[in-house]
Amino acid sequence: GAVVSQHPSWVICKSGTSVKIECRSLDFQATTMFWYRQFPKQSLMLMATSNEGSKATYEQGVEKDKFLINHASLTLSTLTVTSAHPEDSSFYICSARTGKNSNQPQHFGDGTRLSIL
């Protein structure tokens, strides 16, 4: 149980392209989803928290117009990197959790490696 599917696994695209990453909870309803970014050999950096049906809450320093998050249903959240540039290249990971309370573990997708040329 508690499977989170993230798609695509790899993206290589040209600078200026917008890239959409999907995060789906396959066997549970995810009231809350999280988007993280991870640089090589570093920890996970939380970018934003999204609750189904409401606007995402972005962490300080994360541009909400650059990283568009939509959590339209209890099983799907999307992250769109708009007009991506080489500095946006990174490993993006989503997670999903049932409910808003932190006693439940977050279950993570497999991540998306984004490379902008």
Partner 1 sequence: AQKVTQAQTEISVVEKEDVTLDCVYETRDTTYYLFWYKQPPSGELVFLIRRNSFDEQNEISGRYSWNFQKSTSSFNFTITASQVVDSAVYFCALSGRGYGGATNKLIFGTGTLLAVQP
Q: Which residues sit at the interface with partner 1, rule CB under 8 A? A: 2, 32, 34, 41-44, 46, 49, 51, 57, 91, 93, 95, 100-103, 105-111, 113
d(CA 47, CA 63): 9
Question: Could you tell me the smallest distance in angstroms from the CB atom of residue 14 to partner 1?
Answer: 24
Which CB sits closer to partner 1, 62 or 82?
Answer: 62
Give 94's contacts (C-beta < 8 A, 6+ positions apart).
4, 6, 21, 23, 33, 34, 35, 36, 77, 79, 108, 109
Sign, Cα dihedral of 50, 56, 58, 62: positive
Which CB sits closer to partner 1, 31 or 78?
Answer: 31
Give 55's contacts (C-beta < 8 A, 6+ positions apart).
none
Strand 112-116 and strand 10-13: the pairing is parallel
Question: Could you tell me the smallest distance in angstroms from the CB atom of residue 50 to partner 1?
Answer: 9
Question: Could you tell me the smallest distance in angstroms from the CB atom of residue 16 to partner 1?
Answer: 26
Question: Could you tell me the smallest distance in angstroms from the CB atom of residue 52 to partner 1?
Answer: 11
Which CB sits closer to partner 1, 14 or 43?
Answer: 43
Which CB sits closer to partner 1, 19 or 93?
Answer: 93
